[in-house]
Amino acid sequence: MDLERTRRRVTLLLAAALVAVAATPAAAAGPAKPAGSYTIKGSGASFPAPAYSYWISKFRSGLPSNVNANMQYAAVGSGTGISDFRANRTDYGASDAPMTSSEMSGNGWDTLHVPSMIGAVALGVKLSCVSSLLLTGQNVGDLFSGAITRWNDPKLRTNGRNAGLASCDVKVTPVHRSDSSGTTYAFTDYLKQSTNSYWRSRSSLPSKQPSWPTGVGAPRNAGVALKVKSTSGAIGYMELSYADTAGLIKARIQNPRGAFVSPTSSAATASANAKVSSVPNDLRIDPVISANCTACYPIVSYTFWLVREQGQASADETSVTLAYFYWGLTTGQNYLASLGYAKLPSSVRTKAIAQLHKVKVGGNAVWP
Amino acid sequence: MSIPIRTGSRAPTSSARSAGDRIFRVLSLGVAGMILLIVAGIFAQLALGSAEAFALFGLGFLTGQTWDVSMLVFGALPFIAGTVATSVLAMLLAVPLGVATAVFLSEIAPRRLAIPMTLLVELIAAIPSVVIGLWGVMILGAFLRDGVEVPVVGAFGELPFLGSAASGSDLLAASLLLALMITPTIVAITREVLSTIPQSHREAFLGLGATRWETIRAVVLPQARTGIIGASLLALGRAMGETMAVTMTIGNADRLPSGLFDPAQTIASKLATSWGEASDGVERSSLIALGLVLLFLALALVLATRLLARGSLRRSGIGR
């Protein structure tokens, strides 16, 4: 079954690649890729990591033969990504939450936020008695606060939903992140904005590392997915692609319009498109998109590259780095749906590309 | 054991010998002093780094039950409890098991069996802790959850000292894993100590008409006592500091556990999961303070074990 899914994914990717090749007129556009050998290091969010590693391999295979770029991306979590970036240990950072004003000051350079993609935060569930699950916002809050402790709780079966749960006398094990995480920020922001009174009263939310009233912790998206997969009755929040890979039930969550929506690439794009008007010019977008439309999935998050406006590497290396970002924002977007992520709205994409033009090395714009 | 004596060569002159002695003295003094310096340096660095946290929370840091980065409230009690609970539990399991295994291997088992078994026990010590942790997550955790915890909680509800989370990632899983990891240490050292006890002591007692069990109890174990205590101390140190396997199986919950079936966090596992992302000054300082607490905790447990041992030695009249 896994094999089949992989095969289907590969086919989809091939199709996407064909479309991409057909859609891009000439690959000449974008920042220059001067000949040479470069090591380009990035670290941060694990949320987009599967897409980034795919992007990197695709981008590198498309480079001219005289450009040798050794590109490393370490999925160490948004928190570490930001501290690595601030300490100048990496060429760029990656985070699901924009940097705070205090994090942006005192670094010796200005920080540009470049959104790269959108991802849906899926609630992955391991249960054998049902094959699908409809959850209201209240249910989600109750499951993670300890107010619902067994899957046969009648609160999960109101209005004729989830009839199969009646015979499901299994303990609920909520799984949360044990490290500082942008995914946690997105999820606790959703909880805070939900109707659940416990989470509404938590004043310190949203947070990348809140204190949890119950449940088990696991490191990074992959750790949460593994823990949920190996625990009957577990529910955990993770980026959609991780829930897909682990083969978990993805709960359909009720949005403000009352519709139960599956976490899909198109539902994530719908949410982003519905909120495009509130995107600020510096692109430090509130990562969590709680859009009010029928097709919108309610827990969707932007993820960002963090780029130094005053580049610290050589002009040539910075140019190749920018070429990678540009590739991701153009060609790369076409691969996202098949990888379990979603495209940026086109207006946000245009603004993101404009950010790349601002990068200077020694006072000169790298990509004027 | 005999010491080989070289008879052919000339004895060194007395002045050469005293020069050699002096150099050796200085060298060993320097090396010994270096160890002291390193320990003092670690203490000083930890004390310096944790000053901010202790200034902010005072001794309340030790009794605080909340660790909330977003509220900047840091209390160490859940981690102290997790560390003490896992290492004490692991010791309770591993010391009897380890000593009994060592006695079997050196006193009872025939050579044919003792040699391969010793090898196997030493093999356990050579398994990397991340591999043990993986086994703990995939096999032990799943077994404990489905085979022990869920049935027990289902039958009796929430019992005191057990808790009810029953997820297989908890104090019980981490303690069992730790016990498995420290048993080889205890076996290896204890076996070594037992083998130094002269065979004539055993034979004398057996000759008086004692049974094998009586010999082991009255002759072998009392003489090996200090060695066994040393082995236990080494094992305790490993249990308190073990990070990887514990992080993978303890459930990483920054709360005071209510029982064996509840997820928890030890100081070592907390440092491992949180240090990389701690960018804020107070959080960093609080994590360093946790390190200092671990150092003192280890010191306290070592002293307690020594006192306990001295007491029991005196009672049995073998103190030296």
Q: What is the pLDDT of residue B314?
A: 65
How large is the ipTM?
0.72
CA distance A75 to chain B (A): 12
The pLDDT, as a whole number, for residue B176 is: 95
Q: What is the pLDDT of residue B310?
A: 74
Average pLDDT, chain B: 86
Nearest to B276 among A80, A232, A234 (CB): A80
Q: Which residues contact A220 (CB under 8 A, 6 or more apart)?
A: A46, A75, A77, A177, A179, A181
Distance of CA B76 to the CA centre of its chain: 21
Kindly list the strands in the beta sheet with A260-261, ordered across the sheet, starting from the edge strand earlier in the chain: A134-135, A252-254, A260-261
Tens of pLDDT, residue by residue over B154-184, are 888 777 788 777 788 889 999 999 999 999 9
Q: Do B67 and A103 touch (CB under 8 A)?
A: no
CB contact (8 A) between residue A204 and residue B142 = no
> Which among A171, A211, A216 has CB closest to B251?
A216
B135 belongs to a structural domain: yes
pTM of the full predicted structure?
0.78
Examine the pLDDT at B24 and tell me if it is beyond 60.
Answer: yes
Segments forming the whole domain that contains residue B270: 79-281
Cis bond upstream, residue A206 (ω within 30): yes
CB contact under 8 A, A77 and B277: yes
Residues of A with CB below 8 A from B276's CB?
Answer: 76-77, 79-80, 83, 179
Distance from CA of A74 to the nearest CA of B (A): 13
Banded pLDDT at B320 (limits 50, 70, 90): very low
Q: Is the pLDDT of residue B316 over 80?
A: no
User: What pLDDT band is residue B149 in, cutting at 50, 70 and 90?
Assistant: confident
Kindly state the percentage of chain B with pLDDT values over 70: 91
The answer to the question of residue B27 being in a domain is: no
**Is A216 close to B70, i.e. CB distance below 8 A?**
no
**Residue B26 is encoded by which pair of tokens?**
């200085």
Question: Distance (Å) from the C-alpha of residue B176 to the closest C-alpha of chain A?
Answer: 18
Q: Considering only CA atoms, which of A325, A311, A107 is closest in space to residue B279?
A: A107
Residues A359, B285: Cα–Cα separation, whole Å: 35
Q: Residue A203: what pLDDT?
A: 84
Q: Residue-wise over B71-101: b if at least 16 C-beta within 10 A, else e?
A: eebbbbbbbbbbbbbbbebbbebbbebbbeb
Put simply, the answer to whether A216 touches B277 (Cβ < 8 Å) is no
pLDDT score, position A23: 46
CATH code for residues A36-118+301-365: 3.40.190.10
Contacts of B252 in chain A (CB under 8 A): 178, 216-219
Residue reference for tokens 């560390």: B83
DSSP code per residue over A95-152: ESSPPPHHHHSSSSS-EEEEEEEEEEEEEEE--SS-S--EE-HHHHHHHHHTS--BTT
CATH of the domain at B88: 1.10.3720.10
B71 → closest Cβ in A204, A216, A227: A204
Residues of B with CB under 8 A from a CB of A: 66-71, 137-138, 141-142, 145-146, 150, 153, 165-169, 247, 251-255, 263, 265, 273-274, 276-279
Contact B274 A208 (CB under 8 A): no
Q: How near does any CA of chain A get to the CA of B262, in Å?
A: 9
A/B interface, count of CB pairs below 8 Å: 91
Which residue among B71, B150, B253 sits closest to A217, beta carbon to beta carbon?
A: B253
Rounded to whole angstroms, the Cα distance separating A229 from A346 reads 36
Residue A120: its pLDDT value, please?
92
**Rounded to the nearest 5°, which phi and psi values hold at A235?**
-135, 130
Question: Alpha carbon of A124 to those of A232, A240, B85, B197: distances in Å?
Answer: 12, 8, 32, 60
Taking the alpha carbons at both ends of chain B, their separation in whole angstroms is: 22
Note whether residue B297 is domain-resident. no
Residue in B289, B298, B296, B318 with CA at minimum distance from that of residue B54: B289
Say if the Cβ atoms of A230 and B276 lie within 8 Å. Answer: no
For residue A309, give the amino acid letter. Answer: E
Q: Report d(CA A328, CA A256) in Å as an integer.
A: 32
CA dihedral over A55, A60, A64, A70, signed as positive or negative: positive
The answer to whether B97 touches B226, Cβ cutoff 8 Å, is no
CA distance A80 to A219: 13
Instruction: Please tell me the distance from the alpha carbon of residue B311 to that of residue A261, in angstroms, as a whole number.
Output: 68
pLDDT at A108: 87
Number of folded domains that form chain B? 1
Does an H or E element contain A274, and which?
A: helix A265-274
Can you list the residues of chain A whose pLDDT is less than 70? 1-28
Cβ–Cβ gap B70/A210 under 8 Å: yes
- SS3 of chain A: helix, strand, coil, percent, to 5: 40, 20, 40
Model pLDDT, residue B158 = 76
A120-300 carries CATH number 3.40.50.460: no
CB contact under 8 A, A207 and B251: no
Q: Which of B66, B68, B167 sits opposite A216 (nearest CB)?
A: B167
B293-308 pLDDT per residue, tens: 999 988 887 788 778 7
Q: pLDDT > 90: what percent of chain B?
A: 48
Domain range annotation of chain A: 36-118+301-365, 120-300
Rounded to whole angstroms, the Cα distance separating B80 from B266 reads: 7
Q: Do B276 and A79 touch (CB under 8 A)?
A: yes
Q: What is the pLDDT of residues B3-23, one digit of tens each?
A: 555 555 555 556 667 888 999
